[in-house]
Amino acid sequence: MKKLVVSIVLLNLLAACASHKTPETVSVAPEAKVEAPKSALAAAAQTNVDPLNDPQSILSGRSVFYPLDVATVQDADKPLVQAHAKYLGEHAARKVRLEGNCDERGSNEYNLGLGQRRADGVQKMLELGGAAPSQLTTMSYGEEKPHASGHDEASWSQNRRTDLSYAK
């Protein structure tokens, strides 16, 4: 239906150009007004596509990364966390598990604690952004679930993260 309306608007504009009229003189039915979506979330809502499943959506990002021995969400990842907070605020039935992870350096106890602090920090940001506490659970894997298996900074930087794992 939207394609038909857009086509009619375009045909009217072409007719105006062909008859040397200005577009302001072309009458368009009120139902033909089409507004551009204000955000990727709004665009997905208009097409009934869950933005979690859209690879072009910011919500396709499910990991927050950290520097060595840091549990604070970095500025580069704040928009991602804020987008997930907004999504969760708008979808009260959705639940997410926040999984804190570390690189292999440090003791098991230290890494489990740091992973938990990372997950808890993301939880706090999500709650401040609109997610309900009942939608969130946190856990720490420490160094037990690495993304990268190397023993260098490039690998370690991929392993220092909090993953957002949505329930099916």
Question: Are 1 and 74 members of one domain?
Answer: no
Q: Is 102 exposed, middle or buried (0-12, 13-18, 19+ CB in 10 A)?
A: buried
The rounded percent of the chain whose pLDDT value lies above 90 is 68
Higher pLDDT, 24 or 130: 130
b/e sequence 118-136, b meaning 16+ C-beta within 10 Å = bbbbbbebbbebebeeebb
For 85-97, letters b (16+ CB in 10 Å) and e give bbbbbeeeebbbe
Percent above pLDDT 70 for the chain: 72
User: Taking a C-beta distance cutoff of 8 angstroms, is the pair 101, 146 a contact?
Assistant: yes
Is residue 19 one of the residues assigned to a domain?
yes
pLDDT at position 138 is 98
Whether 99 is covered by a domain: the verdict is yes
pTM of the predicted structure, to 2 decimals: 0.71
> The domain containing residue 151 runs over which residues?
49-166
User: Which CATH number goes with the domain that contains 141?
Assistant: 3.30.1330.60
53 lies in the same domain as 95: yes
C-alpha 105/C-alpha 23 separation (Å) is 66
Residue 23 pLDDT greater than 60, yes or no? no
42, part of any domain: no
For 147-162, the pLDDT digits (tens) are 999 999 999 999 999 9
Same domain, 141 and 64: yes
Q: Does residue 162 form part of some domain?
A: yes
Q: pLDDT by residue (tens digit) across 44-83?
A: 556 677 899 899 999 999 999 999 999 999 999 999 999 9
What's the structural domain count of the chain? 2
